[in-house]
A and B are shown apart, each in its own frame.
Chain A
Amino acid sequence: MTGLSSPILRASSTLAFFMANTLSLYLLLRGHHAPGGGFIAGLVTASSVVLLGYARGPEKFGRVLGADPGLIAGIGLAVAGATALVPILFGRAALEHFFWILGNNGWSFGTALIFDVGVFLVVVGVTTKVVASFAASSCGLPALVAEEERRYSSPSEEPLEGTRAN
């Protein structure tokens, strides 16, 4: 199985991927002041990854992002958790956010953005991982690489996709 057969669609999906992610970055950064934010931006990026995955075919779906999406989600949770914990180390309340104005051109930066980036990564990772696994397994391919299979399956049960691959 190799994804979409039309070369035009495959090419334009890459273009759409970059456009969608530009939008996603924009939504993520402006989220504090205008509609947007980590969750929405995460979903935009996830949709674009799903689109790209469809275009490239289910074998390559899980690797569209380069890294394991599960790992990305884990890192996201760690980032969000860190913004909760770090203030405690300085004797402040958990999840307290700080805010700086950068110069007088109206730019500002808040630690809330770091938290939002964590949310963004979790949403992207979880969505991509789940959809990619579904896609692969629905096409009769192993949903996970062998190492991951051991992590999620119980020894008394044969993984669903493992038997099919033989």
Chain B
Amino acid sequence: MSLGLGLALVLLLPAAGALAVALVPRRWLPFPGFIALGVAMASLCGVLAIGSKAGAHPSFVLDWSWVPECGLSLSFLVDGLSLFFAVIVLGMGVLVLVYSRGYMAGREGDHRRFYAGLLFFMGSMLGTVFSNNLLLLFIFWELTGLASFLLIGFEHTSEEARRGARMSLLVTAVTGLVMLLGIVMLKQVTGTYDLATILRSPLPQTHKDWLDACLVLLVVGAFGKSAIFPFHFWLPNAMTAPTPVSAYLHSATMVKLGIFLCARLFPIFGERELWAPLLGVPAFSTMLLGAVLALMSSDLKAILAYSTVSQLGYLIGYYALGPNGGVDYDYLHILNHLFYKGSLFMVAGIVEHAAGSRDIGKLGGLAPRLPLTAASCAIACAAMAGLPLTTGFLSKEFMLKEIFSAFSVHGYLGSFAVVCVVLTSLLKVAFSAKIILRVFFGKEPETVTAHFHAPSAWMTLPPAVLSGCALLAGIAPSFLNPLLQPFTVPGLHAGTAEHFQIWHGWTRELWVSLAVVLAGLALYRVSHYGDRPCPGVPSYLKAERLFEWLHEKTIAAGRASVRLFQTDREQSAVLAVTAFAGVTLGAFAWKQVFAGGFGPLLQFVDFTGGMSPLRLLVGVFIVLPALGLVLFRSWGGQLACLGISGFMVTVYFVLGRAPDLALTQLLVETVSIVAIYLLLGRCAKQGLLEQWSDLPSSAMAQGLRVAVSCSVAAAVGVLILVVTGMPHHNPVGNFFIRHTEDMAHGKNAVNTILVDFRGLDTLGEITVLLAAMLGCLGLLMRYRRNSEEQKQGRDLTPGLGLGEEGKS
């Protein structure tokens, strides 16, 4: 099997699985959970096969043309970075799907929607990491946001969930659009959307400011997705999602896309001066802020969400300070976070499931009841706190080491980073202790005893696997080197990674770690002394306010603009609309007359001079009923006048030898008179007519209306004369008439134009006709009550149109 086919299968399987699970009825496709699991496993095997076949340090592009006109192609880049992320997405996906079996038990009705959402996410995630074309990357990037929206809002009956889903969609989609700007600008500078080409060739030395602007825009996209300050508020709000979704999307994979993007951009922009401060300052600030908020929170998932925000800052900060030659330990940090945070989220789900609460203040003493989960949680917390014998220790040691060496290179940023990392590590120790001690030890509250039921093995095993990995890799770190080594990417990685060891000797980092652990425990002891409750996060630190404010103001502005242009009384708008039409048409007519002189008007005089008595008579019969329209007071008479006027126009078409037009005019007139007659019949007694007479009609207002009407009529009249008088240099009609027989095989040019030459127009017109019918029926189903009826409730007869007879 070729690599191209393999990759296509890997990418298409989750998409096909999602469609199948979502659309095929349950009768024909039972057990959507197992199908999703099978799809994820098959895709994982495919990625591993591609990886092993491609050998060490692969870098090749698979290209299928899509929309070459705008540079968009289905182009996929297989290299260490994309393979690493694909393995993470699918590996974690398998574990989460196993976990979901337990989590979603008893909710069989929702299974299809849930698993389809997860597979949809998996597919778009794979597409994002493998994309070689930057536009394609953007498309998949936004698709992951869409999947996240659907999954956060999974419990769509809850207001909280809808709010969280909306917030995450708005933040990630808008920042994604900013990223698109950056992508387009990058294409303007480099001339291509092709990532591999951009990575291969150094950036042009011109356009330095443009490139900096590009970098800023791209990084905004990464920050939005990875919840870096000032976009960090959406992630805690996304915790309304089901726990498997939180573990998968909002800690392990989707929020890592920002890190993925930074890793992709590192070889391109890493040497620019802007790189380190642009990424470093927000990232390290977010890291510290997230850790502080995590310590303050009391909801288990909120703690984890804030600590995820913190860890994402840590990861982006790591790329920010990367030396020019390349980074070395990013995969270690990512894996470490994957192990412990995935495990902790799943543990949180188990605790909520078993004890009925996620609030730390209402939990305790669960260790004897949930021994395996407690052990998983303990290992994961140890890894989060960076205790020895876990991957967390390795990650922290290498981070401290790099930062201490970057201290001198980066100046103020280096010192800032050191302070932030040390403080964050300390806080991490404190809230790790909080999670493990408050949830699993101490006294068991009665509410927990009353609610408790044991979780199934489906739920307890996946976190144990993840924690086991964290422990195993922490005890025997040396086997991580050969595992991660094939994934290294030249340009991004320096290739000078040290061999991982448990013991590095009494180094500076070890002393700092020791001090941090002790200080962190002391901080926990002080801040959570006795049974003191968690302070909770004060609203001014949540930073949602700005978002809510913007959101509210946008909606309010929309409402205001609608109110400006919309009116409940059509009559009050008629004057304004007519006057506007009169002014614009009149201005155009005046311009034409001004430019072309009075020639066209004089032509008209000639034309009337040659007018036959028959035409004149017909003209009189058109005008007379029109006068009647103004003079009659009853709508029956007015409508009759309108009809006569319209039928008389038909005669002109006959005289002008346009039988098709004449027929159409006659028939349209007939049908529309009938329709108007029926409609007016609804409003006979008290509807429209009374509303007309309600209008304040002083002599002044009436005069104004007459003046507007007359001037509009004059403007339209002059316009018609001017336009028909304008010479056509190359009228397209002649072409149609000449070629109607040889090209359209018809003798009637009107019909050949309608069905053949301009068939697409006709198709559009009949579509509009159908849409108008649907709109008409929709309007007919609407019912507007007047204020009196609204007071009296729903069960009253409607007001508009049915009047007295309706009530009796």
Contact = CB atoms under 8 A, between A and B. Distances in A.
Interface of A: 27, 31-40, 43-44, 46-47, 50, 70, 73-74, 76-77, 80-81, 84, 94-95, 97, 99, 108, 110, 112, 115-116, 118-119, 122-123, 125-127, 129-131, 133-135, 137-138, 140, 143-144, 148-149, 152-154, 157-161, 163-164
B670 to A, nearest CB: 5
B747 A130 contact: no
Given A37-B754, A119-B766, A157-B782, A47 B798 contact: no
Contacts of B678: 131, 134-135, 138
Given A35-B748, A110-B745, A164-B798, A76 B766 contact: yes
B782 A138 contact: no
Interface in B411-449: none
A43 B667 contact: yes
Give me the 9 closest cross-chain CB pairs, A-B, nearest first.
A43-B667, A153-B781, A32-B746, A35-B659, A134-B678, A33-B747, A95-B759, A99-B745, A122-B766
A123 B675 CA distance: 14
Contacts of A36: 660, 663, 748, 751
A144 B777 contact: yes
A80 B781 contact: no
Given A43-B671, A44-B667, A133-B776, A94 B783 contact: no
Contacts of B766: 76-77, 80, 118-119, 122-123
Given A35-B663, A138-B678, A154-B781, 10 more contacts: A32-B745, A33-B746, A35-B748, A43-B667, A46-B667, A47-B670, A73-B769, A76-B766, A99-B745, A164-B802
B73 to A, nearest CB: 23
B68 interface: no
Contacts of B395: none
A77 B755 contact: no
B760 interface: yes
A137 B682 CA distance: 8
Interface in B752-793: 752, 754-756, 759-760, 762-763, 766-767, 769-770, 772-774, 776-778, 780-783
10 contacts: A36-B660, A43-B670, A47-B667, A122-B770, A126-B770, A137-B682, A138-B679, A148-B777, A152-B778, A163-B795
A77 B751 CA distance: 18
B802 A159 contact: no
A37 B802 contact: no
Given A37-B750, A137-B682, A130 B776 contact: yes
B574 to A, nearest CB: 22
A43 B668 contact: yes
Contacts of B694: none
Contact of B780 (A76, A77, A119, A143): A143
A39 B754 contact: yes
B184 interface: no
A44 B666 CA distance: 10
A119 B783 contact: no
B668 to A, nearest CB: 7
Contacts of B679: 134, 138
Q: Chain B: interface secondary structure?
A: helix
B703 interface: no
A112 B755 contact: yes
A27 to B, nearest CB: 8
Interface in B243-272: none
B792 to A, nearest CB: 12
A97 B755 CA distance: 9
Contacts of A76: 766
Contact of A160 (B751, B759, B769, B780): B780
A73 B674 contact: no
B664 interface: yes
Given A122-B769, A129-B773, A33 B748 contact: yes
B748 A32 contact: yes
B457 interface: no
A39 B653 CA distance: 17
B584 interface: no
B744 A40 contact: no
A38 B751 CA distance: 9
Residue among A122, A125, A143 having the largest count of chain B Cβ atoms under 10 Å:
A122
B763 A80 contact: yes
Nearest to A153: B781
Contacts of B798: 160, 163-164
From A40, A127, A129, A135, residue with most partner B Cβ within 10 Å: A40
B202 interface: no
A140 B200 CA distance: 75
B796 interface: yes
B675 A134 contact: yes
Contacts of A33: 746-748
A50 B802 CA distance: 23
Contacts of A161: 780
A77 B489 CA distance: 55
A148 B776 CA distance: 13
A158 B751 contact: no
Contacts of B659: 35
Contact of B783 (A73, A99, A129, A158): A158
Nearest to A45: B667
B783 A50 contact: no
Nearest to B766: A122
Nearest to B795: A163
A36 B682 CA distance: 34
Given A73-B773, A138-B681, A133 B797 contact: no
B675 A40 contact: no
Contacts of A84: 759-760, 763
A140 B805 contact: yes
Contacts of B806: 140, 164
B729 interface: no
B79 to A, nearest CB: 39
Contacts of B756: 95, 97, 112
Given A153-B781, A163-B796, A126 B763 contact: no
A160 B300 CA distance: 52
